[in-house]
Amino acid sequence: MRLEILPVPGIGHVTEGDDLAALIGTAAPWLRDGDVLVVTSKIISKAEGRLVDVPADGPERDAARDEVLAAESVRVVASRGNTRIVQTRHGFVMASAGIDASNVDKTRLVLLPTDPDASARTLRAGLHQRYGVNVAVIVSDTMGRPWRNGLTDVALGVAGMDAIRDHRGEVDPYGNELVLTQMAVVDELAAAGELIKGKCDQMPVAVIRGYLGAPPAGDGEGATVLVRDASMDLFSLGTAEAKAAGFTAAATLPDRPGDAAPDPALVDRAIATVADVVAPGTLFTPVRDDDVRTGLVATIPGWPTRASALVLCSPPTPVGPVQLVRFGADVQRLRTALAAHGVPSQLLPPPAHTAAAAALAL
Amino acid sequence: MRLEILPVPGIGHVTEGDDLAALIGTAAPWLRDGDVLVVTSKIISKAEGRLVDVPADGPERDAARDEVLAAESVRVVASRGNTRIVQTRHGFVMASAGIDASNVDKTRLVLLPTDPDASARTLRAGLHQRYGVNVAVIVSDTMGRPWRNGLTDVALGVAGMDAIRDHRGEVDPYGNELVLTQMAVVDELAAAGELIKGKCDQMPVAVIRGYLGAPPAGDGEGATVLVRDASMDLFSLGTAEAKAAGFTAAATLPDRPGDAAPDPALVDRAIATVADVVAPGTLFTPVRDDDVRTGLVATIPGWPTRASALVLCSPPTPVGPVQLVRFGADVQRLRTALAAHGVPSQLLPPPAHTAAAAALAL
């Protein structure tokens, strides 16, 4: 058994309206059933007319590019300086929504194909119809990834094979069941195709021969199965963006008790977190009672406290209006630190209808 | 031009102390100068004795595994449920520090090689010494990535070639200079190798033939160039972890003015952020003065205000101790919302030595 990675030279410049099946089939009359074609998304975009006109340079170009980027994105995942990592309308998370200014006139930008799976199906069908070959087609593009330098090619679309090879449930020779192993083989095939495309000038198509054991039985479900839903992803937002989201959530912290008594260790940790930033003399005293619901009582010395409190808070003495405002800010710091540990809290006033509350009311 | 991906069958089970160069050279006497060997890290780990004994099952196994994971990690990047994405001592960010329980006895775990680049150099040197072949060696392992389902093989170590093929500075046929294109070709070669390794049972080594134009001139700088420094990475922390870090930073918000007047639009946005959660009647009035430094004055009605204030804050009336504490908490909410927009702030008391301050002091 061996695999071959073959270049398809002679495709030349592709322009809007070109019949890619004819261009590829003419350039590679040697295609066989079961070959996997890896096709650079850019020539598909060009053939499909996915280009926009922009100024060649200057701030007008930047503005036009920003506008195109916004139109191609459903959300910004992370940004720094000029870098924008966005989720595209397909669901892919990539820099600049895959918009590319290379290998095209200076006054045009190339967008990703609208539906790369459909593009793959169309090309696969065209090759079958014109040349009678039954191949799989992968639409590839270049992506970076967190934590690693350098780019690799991955699959945006596929027709004629499954995107994932699933080893789950298989048992290794030691009797261990494989529980996690789902290989994104179309990404690996796209990467393999890039090895030869990248070595040659203007080589938008590569063929992997020998990978498929048999000619495709159908189109398959496409590459959209590779898109992980943001809610399932541990990195759905950039670190800076998520930190800012944490700040915003802290600013709008809900003011309500939790459903159960919190872990006392977490409460202690929250108190320790703010110990050095609150006014000297401020006291935060956790109430240990398994029955209490999460809450906070902001007290001043001598005020009655509530049995349902989680943390009794007392300002330093003597206490005047200035100190009370600062005390309120410090209690909010504590509530924020509790929230950082997942502990909800409520700012409770001293109980109404008590003599102390009445006496101190201004 | 064509590339071939060849399997190396017949290596069998590898155990501690095995001479991998001898095993591979015997199994693949057909190796040639310029071949690229992709070697699954697991057989290198086994040969190097990177195994630990653990209980076969039960909570003892989980505890032992957690201990091993902590020892192999320098930090936790993200976690959810039983999933731990960590940075390993090498700098790689991956699930469970690459610790693997498959293809090994149930009572052992396989750790990553201590220094995969050194492992690659040793194997490359061993093959050259014993068999006279000048090859490149890639040590590969399987990784997931954010935002995409499915795993692919990537390079942990390499000797005999550069990890990255750098296209920066090249000019495309349209006259555009390529500014970003650095391809992680060793990751693509590792992925290509997996295509054949994954199709076969127990196939830990693949050979890519035809990729290197000439036999290696030296070991090269290894795969550590693929490790992106956390400070450069937009995803240095998981989203949930970064949000919690945002909460903690909000709880310990520094109380000091900024160096320059903030963007008024950001101040307005911060005020709008907290508008619905502060006590009804609380007033936040931005001071528009390009000369002011960022700051906050917490005032009560009738108090003098400071010209250096960014936002004048007034509690609802009538104001008593309870209202002042709530007011302090609400001002802290505003300061937190300002911080979410990158605007530093300071909680300023009413100016001392004024009649108003003296009259209201308790």
Q: Give pLDDT tens digits for B131-172.
A: 999 999 999 999 999 999 999 999 999 999 999 998 888 888
Nearest C-alpha in B relative to A321: B361
Residue type for position A354: T
B32 touches chain A (CB under 8 A): no
Query: What single DSSP character describes residue A226?
Result: G
Continuous segment of H or E residues that includes residue A201: none
C-alpha distances in Å from residue A294, one per residue of A12, A338, B237 = 69, 10, 29
Specify the pLDDT at position A296. Answer: 60
Buried residues in B211-224 as b, exposed as e (16+ CB within 10 A): bbeeebeebbebbb
Chain B residues closer than 8 Å to A83 by CB: 234
Please report the pLDDT score of residue A298 as a whole number.
55
Q: Which of B151, B274, B349 sits opposite A184 (nearest CB)?
A: B151
**What is the per-residue pLDDT for A288?**
62
Structure tokens at B70: 């902590």
Chain A residues near residue B148 by CB distance under 8 angstroms:
154, 184, 187, 226-228
| Residues B140, B194 contacting (CB under 8 angstroms) | yes
Residue type, B199: K
Pairwise CB contact (< 8 Å): A78 & B362: no
Kindly give, in sequence order, each residue whose CB lies less than 8 Å from that of residue A293, ignoring residues fewer than 6 positions away. Answer: A257, A258, A259, A260, A261, A308, A310
Cβ-Cβ contacts under 8 Å between A and B: the total is 407
> What's residue B349's pLDDT?
65
Does residue B356 belong to the interface with chain A, where contact is any CB pair within 8 Å? no
Tell me if chain B has a CB within 8 Å of the CB of A312: no
Cis peptide before A318 (omega within 30 of 0): yes
Question: Contact A195/B202, CB-based, under 8 Å?
Answer: no
Looking at residue A291, what is its pLDDT? 42
Mean pLDDT of chain B: 87
CA distance B355 to A72: 60
Asked if residue A194 lies in contact with residue A150, where contact means CB atoms within 8 angstroms, the answer is no
Rg (CA), chain B: 31
Locate the chain B residue with the closest alpha carbon to A81. B234
Query: Residue range B19-36: average pLDDT?
Result: 97
Q: Give A322's contacts in chain B (Cβ within 8 Å).
A: 349-350, 357, 361
CB proximity B353 to A under 8 Å: no
Report the candidate in B149, B137, B162, B169 with the shortest Cα–Cα distance to residue B8.
B137
Q: Is A191 within 8 Å of B196 when comparing Cβ atoms? A: no
Q: What DSSP element (H or E) covers A360?
A: helix A355-360
What's residue B155's pLDDT?
Answer: 98
Spatial CA neighbour of A249 closest among B273, B103, B256? B273
DSSP letters along A242-296, please?
Answer: HHHHHHHHHHT------SSPPPHHHHHHHHHHHTTTSPTT-EEEE---TTPPS-E
Question: In angstroms, what separates the C-alpha of B338 from chain A's closest C-alpha?
Answer: 9
> Can you read off the two tokens belonging to residue A131?
């040349």
pTM higher than 0.90: no
> Of A146-155, A200-209, B173-182, B296-305, which one has max mean pLDDT?
A146-155
| Alpha carbon distances (Å) from B312 to A268, A320, B269 | 34, 20, 15
List b or e across A84-118, with b for residues whose CB sees 16 or more CB atoms inside 10 angstroms: bbbbbebbbbbbbbbbbbbbbeeeebbbbbebbbb
Between helices A239-251 and B239-251, what is the axis angle to 10°?
50
pLDDT digit string (tens) for B78-92? Answer: 999 889 999 999 999
Which residues are registered as beta bridge partners of A165? A183
User: With contacts defined as CB-CB under 8 Å, which chain B residues touch A235?
Assistant: 78, 146-147, 235, 238-239
Q: What's the rounded mean pLDDT across residues B264-291?
A: 83
- Can you state the angle between helices B321-340 and A239-251, rounded to 10 degrees? 160
Which residue in the set B83, B192, B329 is minimally distant from A188, CB to CB?
Answer: B192
Enumerate the residues of chain B whose CB falls inside 8 A of the CB of residue A98.
none
The answer to whether A202 faces chain B, any CB pair under 8 Å, is yes
pLDDT reported for residue B119: 98
Half-sphere exposure of A329 (CA within 13 A, CB side): 28
pLDDT at res. A297: 56
Verify whether the Cβ–Cβ distance A228 to B336 is below 8 Å: no
**Which has the closest alpha carbon to A153: A80, A220, A221, A205?**
A205
The H or E element that residue A27 is part of is: helix A20-27
In DSSP notation, A104-156 reads S-TTEEEPPPS-HHHHHHHHHHHHHHHH----EEEEEEEEEETTEEEEEEEEE
Choose the closest CB to B322 out of A78, A225, A349.
A349
pLDDT digits (tens, 9 = 90+) for B204-217: 999 999 999 899 99
In chain A, what are the domains? 4-50+113-239 (3.30.1330.100), 253-361 (no CATH)
- The pLDDT value recorded for residue B355 is 39
Kindly state the DSSP code that residue A227 receives in the 8-state scheme. B
A177 DSSP assignment:
B
Local structure of A96: helix, strand or coil: helix
Q: Which of chain A's residues have a Cβ under 8 Å away from the Cβ of B3?
A: 4-5, 192, 195-196
- Distance, C-alpha A232 to centroid of its chain: 9
pLDDT tens-place values along chain A, 362 residues long = 899 999 999 998 999 999 999 999 999 999 999 999 999 999 999 999 999 999 998 999 999 999 999 999 999 999 998 899 999 999 999 999 999 988 888 899 999 999 999 999 999 999 999 999 999 999 999 999 999 999 999 999 999 999 999 888 888 888 888 777 899 999 999 999 999 998 887 899 999 999 998 999 999 999 999 999 888 899 999 999 999 999 999 999 988 777 777 788 888 999 999 999 999 988 888 866 544 444 565 555 544 444 334 677 777 777 777 788 888 899 999 999 988 888 888 887 655 554 434 444 43
Give the number of other Cβ atoms within 10 Å of residue A71's Cβ.
12
pLDDT score for A355: 40
Separation of first and last alpha carbons in chain A: 89
**Nearest-by-CA chain B residue for A242:** B243
Written in H, E and C, the secondary structure of chain B is: CCEEEEECCCCCCCCCCCCHHHHHHHHCCCCCCCCEEEEEHHHHHHHCCCEEECCCCHHHHHHHHHHHHHHHEEEEEEEECCEEEEEECCCCEEEHHHCECCCCCCCEEECCCCCHHHHHHHHHHHHHHHHCCCCEEEEEEEEEECCEEEEEEEEEEEECCCCCEECCCCECCCCCECCCCEECHHHHHHHHHHHHHCCCCCCCEEEEECCCCCCCCCCCCCHHHHECCHHHCCCCCCHHHHHHHHHHHHHCCCCCCCCCCCCHHHHHHHHHHHCCCCCCCCEEEECCCCCCCCCEEECCCCCCCCCCCCEEEECCCCCCHHHHHHHHHHHHHHHHHHHHCCCCCCEECCCCCCHHHHHHCC
Token representation of residue B313: 């804050």
Return the pLDDT at B307: 36
- B-contacting residues of A 269-288, CB under 8 Å? 270, 273-274, 276-277
Query: Which class for B128: exposed (0-12), middle (13-18), buried (19 or more C-beta within 10 A)?
Result: middle
Sign, CA dihedral B220-B223-B226-B228, equals: negative
**Mean pLDDT score, B290-299:** 49
Nearest CA-CA distance, residue B288 and chain A, Å: 23
Nearest by Cα to B326 from B278, B360, B274: B278
